[in-house]
Amino acid sequence: MFKIIFIILYAIIVPFVIWFVAYHNAKVDGELSRSDASILYFLTEMYFLFGIVMVYLLEAGS
């Protein structure tokens, strides 16, 4: 049960919130370029993949 909550929080909600806040702030400032958006997307994907690896390690440990 804990692992399901961990997956939902870590791999879905948190990166979406981070990306949305950063994207919104950049859009409000009018400084969002294509490279900024791709960097945000890349960081979100890396965070997501790191979460999957952590869950895999938790599964292997138990």
> For 44-47, which contacts have Cβ atoms below 8 Å and span 24 or more sequence positions?
44/15, 44/16, 44/18, 44/19, 47/14, 47/15, 47/18
CA dist 12 and 27 (Å) reads 22
Give the pLDDT of residue 16: 78
pTM: 0.45
Give the pLDDT of residue 34: 66
Name residues of the chain where pLDDT drops below 70.
1, 28-36, 62
Domain ranges, residue 35: 2-61
Give the pLDDT of residue 15: 74
Q: How many domains does the chain have?
A: 1
Give the pLDDT of residue 6: 74
Give the pLDDT of residue 24: 74
Residue 30 is given by DSSP the state: T
Residue 9 is given by DSSP the state: I
